């Protein structure tokens, strides 16, 4: 069993966040900084695990995860493409 964690956008992710997700998390935060959603208070990420795969979800609904093949996927919780 793996426990999740939370952290604020635009801060260093905890060590529990896999390195493979970090570039896309940074890319989402860079885009976020260009919008009203990036203003204070900063949205927070939640890291959870499903079937052994990490899922990082931002309070805005953006999800960064791994698919079954191990590729990083960025999507919105309404299944809309984000990036």
Please give the structure tokens belonging to residue 31. Answer: 């885009």
- Asked if residue 42 is part of any domain, the answer here is yes
Please give the structure tokens belonging to residue 18. Answer: 């896999």
CATH number of the domain to which 54 belongs: 3.10.450
Domain tally, the chain: 1
pLDDT digits (tens, 9 = 90+) for 34-79: 776 656 688 999 999 998 999 999 999 999 999 999 999 999 987 5
What is the pLDDT, as a whole number, of residue 11?
A: 93
- 27: exposed, middle or buried (Cβ count in 10 Å: 0-12, 13-18, 19+): middle
- Asked if residue 82 is part of any domain, the answer here is no
Q: What is the pTM of this model?
A: 0.84
pLDDT digits (tens, 9 = 90+) for 12-27: 999 999 999 999 999 9
- Asked if residue 68 is part of any domain, the answer here is yes
Is the pLDDT score of 80 beyond 50? Answer: no
| Beta carbons of 8 and 38 less than 8 angstroms apart | no
Per the structure, the complete domain to which residue 11 belongs is given by 5-76
List strand residue ranges (DSSP E) for the chain, in order: 5-8, 44-50, 53-58, 62-66, 72-76
């Amino acid at each position: 069993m793996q426990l999740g964690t939370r952290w604020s956008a635009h801060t260093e992710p905890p060590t529990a966040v896999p390195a493979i997700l970090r570039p896309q998390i940074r890319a989402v935060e860079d885009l976020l900084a260009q919008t009203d959603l990036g203003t204070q208070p900063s949205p927070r990420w939640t890291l959870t695990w499903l079937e052994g795969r990490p899922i990082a979800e931002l309070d805005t609904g953006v999800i960064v995860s791994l698919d079954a093949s191990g590729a990083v996927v960025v999507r919105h919780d309404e299944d809309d493409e984000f990036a």
